[in-house]
Amino acid sequence: MRKKVYWIEGDGIGPEIWRSARPVIDAALAKESDMTLEWVELLAGEKALAETGSPLPESTLSALMRADIAMKGPLGTPVGAGIRSLNVALRQGLDLYACIRPVRYFQGIESPVKHPERVNMVIFRENTEDVYAGIEYAAGSPECRMLREFLCDKLGVSKIPATAALGLKPMTEAGSKRLVRRALRFALDNGLPSLTLVHKGNIMKFTEGAFRQWGYDVASAEFGDASCTEQDPLPGRLLVKDRIADAMFQEALLRPEQYHVLATPNLNGDYISDALAAQVGGLGLAPGVNMSDSLAFFEATHGTAPTIAGRDKANPGSVILCGALMLEHLGAPAAAKRIRAALEKALAAKTVTVDLADQIPGAITVGCAAFGGIIGENL
């Protein structure tokens, strides 16, 4: 069986981590399955801009709209000026509403917390709404003045300084429920004990507070025979609970073993997934996937790391682990398990890239290509 996988190389360290990661993914699959992957490159980011004049060509979007599997390296995001985030544009244009990030500890990595092995969570982050919808206006702009005047004159809002920049935070019942629904199905399919709705509903009552309520509503209406709440716990059922976002950060440090699946609005999910990754050793070993109802788009969770791009220092681990997630999604869990075991063996041997060497006492530092080669040999 042959499966087509569209891939985007990415900016910065993208090319070198791809060169290290792809052979590992292909080799692991070959050892465990008769499935083969047909890799089809699509252009986005700096490479697309140089070759087509656009950072996100229509041909790329068109191909992805017809695809069911894709992978990508990191794409650059300008801060404060320039084009909008390519990552956000892809998520919104392809309706990749669920950002799913599993976070677990790999033995041998030094962590800033005492018991990183207690962290084993999967974050389901809503990916298209919230402040990431990109509805904001620069301070002093005509649009910002118009919005301020409407809020103050028509809706009676006070205390908005004339110098303020303004943004909007749209969150819908449909968008929130489909995200929580997906997280609930995952938790039940994998026999996990709990799902936690992470929100700031004590302050933002009609957006994040609504997210919390919509989450409980979909659990009750569609999964009522398989779930329960903290107010009415039932043995053998999925426990659906909620935590205010700042309290969840404390819980993640003090009692991470009590949390298994987190369902979050967009911004909360961005924060908590990176913070949890830091607890287990950083983003270098953090995979992720953005999913619509038809497309699974696997991507490295770290950035482009321009200061080390082209210097053979990057860690390909995130993309390699994205490959493991993809193989599981394609029905080859044994190949995914083989990749993770090969990575753990490399960590145990303490011959790793510089970011990991900084966290492993007595480690020997190797380059991106060599580290990928070690993992491949360990398969």
The residues assigned a catalytic role are 132, 200, 246, 270
125 assigned ligand-binding residue: yes
91 assigned ligand-binding residue: yes
270 assigned ligand-binding residue: yes
**Helices and strands, counts by H and E, the chain:** 13, 15
Sheet strands side by side (includes 98-104):
36-42, 2-8, 69-72, 296-300, 287-291, 98-104, 120-126, 261-264, 194-199, 238-244, 227-229
315 assigned ligand-binding residue: yes
Q: At what angle do helices 86-93 and 58-66 cross, to 10 degrees?
A: 40
Residue 68, CB half-sphere, CA atoms under 13 Å: how many? 5
85 assigned ligand-binding residue: yes
Chain CA centroid to CA 118, Å: 20
SS3 state at 267 = helix
CA-nearest of 8, 132, 129, 127 to 64 is 8
The CA angle 320-323-326, to the nearest 5 degrees, is 160
**What tokens were used for 338?**
């083989």
Annotated binding site for D-threo-isocitrate: 85, 87, 91, 101, 125
Task: Report the binding-site residues.
Answer: 85, 87, 91, 101, 125, 270, 315
Annotated binding residues for NADP(+), as ranges? Answer: 315
Annotated binding site for Mg(2+): 270
